[in-house]
Structure 1
């Protein structure tokens, strides 16, 4: 009985090693924390801009936003995205260096491709929404497509990302129904959830 148990434990360990060898595991939880902080700062800027122009977010589906406001929203989103990517590259490179792993290899390429496809489609869809003036669905769409990207990419990296992706999708669907909570949902999804996820991943894999 003990011999059989040891054999099963050995097989489980071998399977775990093979599974980890096929996944990109150098993602750092700190990159999630910083991405969340950048997102919260971006949401605060958007809230401030809307307040300065006497725009209530829940009314964006009944009014047409001027071009300056649209450009401001796009700029904030772009800056938050670039800062998040920058922090992800920095902390991932630092973690990979400490563990003696390569940051760019076949595993990271597979991860990037599977993340990029849903993100690219989502970016195009959001551009179409902006073109047609359907601004109030942009935040929910960003959450949904980002969540799908995480679920799709979770097969090639830490499986915990799958749960973050599912949470983002659910939050995006909620915001698509309850329009007035779009900005709040965006802040929770890209801000709070990233900080919570990043913190958990840091203490689980890097401490």
Structure 2
């Protein structure tokens, strides 16, 4: 056996180890749908729930509660769609959907995300609305980067983009909805499309 064969065997072993330690069944379509849900939710919020000129969005007002419910609905349908498409892809590829790697992925994703969510709620309770969109983007980006080591693909780059967008949003707090749509809507669709294209290849 020559050195070329040895290198080939080593690469195969490395690939097997990489697959066993990383979650590989993420579906690109789930990113596209998440982006569509986010844009649809933002449109509903803008036209029906956001205060008009001279009005104030009160923390315990009806529109605020509906806005929070809308955010949770977008997140719920995004997670549900991701679960359905990822499970289908895993079955098609004869891969496990739930194992130690999946648990690590979820833990590393949820720690920054839940921390950020609680912090945003604390700020909202203090009537600080201005940086909500920025904080959502930043903590979501941190969650993606933190979980990226347990999945393949370029999820970390999506996380970096969300963080950068969130920081820019903090400079222009009056345009929070625009940056929110760009981050959770447009970036998800672009990233999901790239993932889906690579999957088809």
TM-score by length of 1: 0.89
Instruction: After TM superposition, give the deviation of residue 206 of structure 1 in Å.
Output: 4.1
Match among 131, 137, 143 for residue 137 of structure 1: 131
Matched, 1:65 2:63: no
Contact 2:49 2:67 in 1 (8 A): no
Residue 11 of structure 2 corresponds to: 12
Residue 154 of structure 2 corresponds to: 160
Q: Which runs of 5+ in 1 are unaligned?
A: 57-62
Matched, 1:198 2:197: no
Residue 59 of structure 1 corresponds to: none
Matched, 1:23 2:19: no
Instruction: After TM superposition, give the deviation of residue 64 of structure 1 in Å.
Output: 4.6
Residue 45 of structure 2 corresponds to: 46
The CA RMSD measured in Å over matched residues stands at 1.9
Contact 1:64 1:133 in 2 (8 A): no
Residue 33 of structure 1 corresponds to: 32
CA distance in 1, matches of 2:57, 2:27: 38
CA distance in 2, matches of 1:55, 1:164: 35
CA distance in 1, matches of 2:8, 2:157: 27
CA distance in 2, matches of 1:55, 1:97: 51
Instruction: After TM superposition, give the deviation of residue 164 of structure 1 in Å.
Output: 0.3
Deviations 1:65-116 (A, max 9, x none): 2222321221111110001011011001100110111211111111111111
Change (3 A) 1:141 1:55: farther
Deviates more, 1:33-42 or 1:3-12: 3-12
Instruction: After TM superposition, give the deviation of residue 8 of structure 1 in Å.
Output: 3.2
CA distance in 1, matches of 2:200, 2:70: 31
Matched, 1:188 2:182: yes
CA distance in 2, matches of 1:175, 1:139: 7
Contact 2:22 2:150 in 1 (8 A): yes
Runs of 4+ aligned residues of structure 1 deviating over 6 Å after TM superposition are none
Q: Which runs of 5+ in 2 are unaligned?
A: none
